[in-house]
Chains A and B, each alone.
Chain A
Amino acid sequence: MYRKPARARRWAIATLSAIALTAVAACGGNDGSGGSGDGSGSADKADLTWSFWVGGTEDVAAWQKVADQATTDHAGITVKLQGTDWDSYWSKIGTLLASGKAPCIIGMQSLRTTSYASAMLPLDDLMSKYGLKTEDFDKPIMDGLKVDGKQIAIPYDSGPMVIFYNRDLFKAAGVAEPKPGWTMDEFTAAARKLTAGGKTGLVTRPGDLGVTSWVRTMTGAEPLADGKLNLTDGKFVEGFTKYADFVKTDKIAPQVPGGNPDFETQQFVAGKAAMQLNGPWSLIDTKGKVKFQLGIAPIPAGPDGSKTYTAGSGFGISRSCKTPDAAFQAIMSMTSEKPLTTLAAAGRAYPARIAAHPAWFTAAGIDGAKETIDYASENSVPLVTSKNWVQVSDLLTRFGVQALNGEIPPEQALQTIQDQAGAGS
């Protein structure tokens, strides 16, 4: 009537084994057929999913309209947006790409392209097949979405890093407004004069694009050499030291808190700092928030002129997509003139497609914006990143804060980052 202990043990072992096997199966990824559940169909007929970062329901509606352009252009193709907030997006997409279950269309930021490239389909053959003209897009961001010479994504937005400035504060301090070609000396003099009465000339936080742009314009140094992290290079250390001096020695920018990624924008929008380095993708949003006249200018010129970096984002195709042709046609539609012009006119990010620029400048309504961004674009290159750039960027902010606040020497900060992340780059 009652099971013997040995039999009970066998049952227990069998049950636990079943649980373990179920769990293993659940974690085991796809069946090896090489495909995701997404994107079934042909070149002209497919139901696709598009994974992308979004900021809220309004954002979802705006981007779904972009996705619907694919159906307008190709009756058999539908694209469904699968939105995730920025912070969760990268861990989620990493897991999906690694498991082979990623959606066909993937939102990709230029700074992270190298990290995810191995799970993405190179688009060069599809670009030739469907006649996508690269010259219709800003060159720096087309190049920024390449890895080892292969196009990984087609851009929808782009932008060189530029100076946002508070025209009212400049006027009140009697400082001439910056123009394309202004120099580092002119910038420092202006920032010193603007630093008074609890306000500062500049606000900065050591993010990857900001730090590298300042270093590039001051010394021309790049963060990578032959694809490997090279932060301890003498020129880079020199540029980073000068950058840290904005806070540490010159005191033209306030001390930096540890954990507030929005610190720069908060200080600038509140009128507590007269300048910040930012991307055009934030310009129209910032203009809507500030209660002063907003101006933009190129990054000041160092010994070899004004030099900055461009970043942006686009759409690529996961390697596991079963219908890359349909996905590429959808991406061509989503990055075509009509949706990008609509987005530009609505005041969203600076479009990567040249034909959509006028709509964006009209929506921005800022004097000199076109002149500045055109000048900055001509003097910018894409920020080429390493495979472990997320780690590099994290460390740059961590130890950069300490260097700016004068807690550790700038060269020590860079050495620590190089030691931590150099091997993995």
Chain B
Amino acid sequence: MSTAQTTTVAPPAGRPSGGRPVGRRPALRKDGRYAGVFLAPSLVGLALFTLFPTAMALGISLFDWPVFGERKFLGIENYTHLLNDPVFRRVVLNTTLFVVLYVPLNVVVSLGLAVWLGPKIRGRQAFRVLFFIPVMTPMVANVMVWRLLFQPGGLIDGGMQSWFGVNAPNFLGSSNWAMPAVVAMSVWQGFGYNFLVFSAALDQVPQSQLESAQIDGAGPLQRFRYVTWPMITPSIFFATTMTLITSFQVFAQPFILTQGGPGVATQTIVMYVYNQGWQFLTMGLASAAGWVLFVIIMGITAIQFFGQKRWVHYDV
């Protein structure tokens, strides 16, 4: 039966595998047209709201483009300005630091909790809802609460003064503490999404395979390493890729929690773009910074996609 099925869909002899079967060409073309019709709204949206602004931003980035006043062609001057600007270099470093701290922490916390909340835990669904609540709560509300925790005279500082008679660090006013504070708040706020992705993936791991491994003498760690892990790698790849992209674009948490301060200790690239564009009304510099971010994200995502062949298993 399997042989027959293979025969019907196999390419005719003499054509490379994956080539278009000559006999089905008109039908495929018809399908293609239908596909085109269905895709058209998305493509128009993509062209209007993504491709065109992206191309326009590239054009603007080559100009001194104030909101008021005359525009002047600068070539790559905005880019050289950014490269030589210590503030922008710090902003890129901050963004990288956020990604390096946030992505592994997010994945470890969400995967750890998903594994912990295995099928045998009572009240599993209630925990799932509980862990997802921070994702659903408006970011502004979350940040306001964390601000009250972190600020001088806040809950942590007040508690430490009452119990130990010492002040807590000035979490949001110290360059050393501000970024860890932003990362901690972000992990708490954001792990729920990946937690759900991993929970769903873990539910798909066949119980029979885990039992077979157990009968063969594999302990819990070995079962996770050699059975569970390979089967959830596609989900881990998806989660890390998406988390990486969104964390490079981080804005709301530092914007509300620290406004990028103290100094520029927690300012990220998107905040820099926002400030230059919408606060300081210098669109050229904002567009150039936006393109720098675009190239960074595109590069890292490409590396991830090429690298996935080494560790992601789609065939298990």
Residue in A90, A115, A397 whose CB lies within 8 Å of B261: A397
| Cα A398 to Cα B255 with chains together (Å) | 12
| Cα A347 to Cα B299 with chains together (Å) | 56
| Cα A90 to Cα B274 with chains together (Å) | 13
Residue of B nearest to A272 (CB): B153
Q: Are B56 and A27 in contact (CB under 8 A)?
A: yes
Q: Are A401 and B68 in contact (CB under 8 A)?
A: no
What residues on B are CB-neighbors of A424 within 8 Å?
280, 282
- Which one of A33-41, A251-259, A324-332 is at the B interface? A251-259
- Which one of B115-123, B167-175, B237-245 is at the A interface? B167-175
Q: How far is the CB of B141 from chain A (nearest CB, A)?
A: 15
Q: Are B259 and A258 in contact (CB under 8 A)?
A: yes
Residue A399 at the chain B interface, CB threshold 8 Å: yes
Interface string of A384-425 (1 = CB under 8 A from B): 000010110010011101100101100000001000100010
| Cα A270 to Cα B154 with chains together (Å) | 12
Interface string of A354-374 (1 = CB under 8 A from B): 000000000000000000000
Residue B265 at the chain A interface, CB threshold 8 Å: yes
Q: How far is the CB of A238 from chain B (nearest CB, A)?
A: 22
Q: Are A259 and B280 in contact (CB under 8 A)?
A: no
What residues on A are CB-neighbors of B263 within 8 Å?
398-399, 401-402, 407-408, 416
Residue of A nearest to B26 (CB): A2
- Which one of B144-152, B190-198, B227-235, B301-309 is at the A interface? B144-152
Q: Are A258 and B48 in contact (CB under 8 A)?
A: no
What residues on B are CB-neighbors of A118 within 8 Å?
68-69
Residue B95 at the chain A interface, CB threshold 8 Å: no
Residue B257 at the chain A interface, CB threshold 8 Å: yes
Q: Are B29 and A394 in contact (CB under 8 A)?
A: no
Q: How far is the CB of A97 from chain B (nearest CB, A)?
A: 7
What residues on A are CB-neighbors of B256 within 8 Å?
259
State the total of A-B contacts with C-beta under 8 angstroms: 121
Q: Are A407 and B152 in contact (CB under 8 A)?
A: no
Residue of A nearest to B143 (CB): A259
Question: In the complex, which range does the number of interface residues on chain B fall in?
Answer: 35 or more
Q: Are A258 and B173 in contact (CB under 8 A)?
A: yes
Q: Are B153 and A267 in contact (CB under 8 A)?
A: yes
Q: Are B67 and A94 in contact (CB under 8 A)?
A: yes
Main secondary structure on chain A at its contact with chain B? helix
Residue of B nearest to A391 (CB): B280
| Cα A258 to Cα B256 with chains together (Å) | 10
Are A19 and B178 CB-contacts (below 8 A) given A94-B281, A254-B152?
Answer: no
| Cα A86 to Cα B126 with chains together (Å) | 40
What residues on B are CB-neighbors of A391 within 8 Å?
275, 279-280
Q: Are A259 and B258 in contact (CB under 8 A)?
A: yes
Residue B130 at the chain A interface, CB threshold 8 Å: no
Beta-carbon contacts under 8 Å, B51-68 to A: 52, 56, 67-68
Are A116 and B68 CB-contacts (below 8 A) given A23-B52, A391-B279?
Answer: yes
Residue A225 at the chain B interface, CB threshold 8 Å: no
Residue B287 at the chain A interface, CB threshold 8 Å: no
What residues on B are CB-neighbors of A94 within 8 Å?
67-68, 278, 281
| Cα A259 to Cα B153 with chains together (Å) | 15
Residue B87 at the chain A interface, CB threshold 8 Å: yes
Q: How far is the CB of A117 from chain B (nearest CB, A)?
A: 9
| Cα A118 to Cα B70 with chains together (Å) | 11
Q: How far is the CB of B97 from chain A (nearest CB, A)?
A: 16
Q: Are A401 and B260 in contact (CB under 8 A)?
A: no
What residues on B are CB-neighbors of A401 within 8 Å?
173, 261-263
| Cα A55 to Cα B171 with chains together (Å) | 30
Residue B205 at the chain A interface, CB threshold 8 Å: no
Q: Are B262 and A394 in contact (CB under 8 A)?
A: no
Residue in A2, A16, A260, A402 whose CB lies within 8 Å of B151: A260
Beta-carbon contacts under 8 Å, A253-294 to B: 254-261, 263, 267, 270, 272
What residues on B are CB-neighbors of A91 within 8 Å?
278-279
Listed residue (B44, B175, B263, B275) with the most chain A CB atoms within 10 angstroms of its CB? B263
What residues on B are CB-neighbors of A255 within 8 Å?
152, 170, 173
Q: Are A390 and B261 in contact (CB under 8 A)?
A: no
| Cα A405 to Cα B175 with chains together (Å) | 10
Q: Are A258 and B265 in contact (CB under 8 A)?
A: yes
What residues on A are CB-neighbors of B170 within 8 Å?
255-257, 405
Q: How far is the CB of A118 from chain B (nearest CB, A)?
A: 5
Q: How far is the CB of B316 from chain A (nearest CB, A)?
A: 40
What residues on B are CB-neighbors of A402 within 8 Å?
175, 261-263
What residues on A are CB-neighbors of B69 within 8 Å?
118
Q: How far is the CB of B55 from chain A (nearest CB, A)?
A: 8
Residue A95 at the chain B interface, CB threshold 8 Å: yes
What residues on A are CB-neighbors of B147 within 8 Å?
257, 259-260
Q: How far is the CB of B113 from chain A (nearest CB, A)?
A: 29
Q: How far is the CB of B128 from chain A (nearest CB, A)?
A: 32
| Cα A198 to Cα B256 with chains together (Å) | 27
Q: Are B48 and A23 in contact (CB under 8 A)?
A: yes
Known A258-B265, A259-B260; further 20 A-B contacts with Cβ < 8 A: A19-B44, A20-B47, A23-B47, A97-B67, A98-B68, A115-B68, A255-B173, A257-B147, A257-B258, A258-B257, A258-B262, A258-B266, A260-B151, A263-B151, A390-B279, A398-B263, A398-B264, A399-B263, A416-B263, A420-B87
Q: Which residues of A contact B (CB under 8 A)?
A: 2, 16, 19-20, 22-23, 27, 90-91, 94-95, 97-98, 115-116, 118-119, 198, 254-261, 263, 267, 270, 272, 388, 390-391, 394, 397-399, 401-402, 405, 407-408, 416, 420, 424
Question: Can you pick out 27 interface pairs between chain A and chain B where the beta carbons lie within 8 Å of each other?
Answer: A16-B47, A19-B44, A19-B52, A20-B52, A22-B48, A95-B67, A115-B281, A198-B161, A255-B170, A256-B262, A257-B152, A258-B258, A258-B259, A259-B147, A259-B255, A259-B259, A259-B260, A260-B147, A260-B151, A391-B280, A394-B279, A399-B263, A401-B173, A402-B175, A405-B173, A407-B174, A407-B175
**3 smallest A-B Cβ distances: which pairs?**
A258-B261, A259-B258, A258-B258
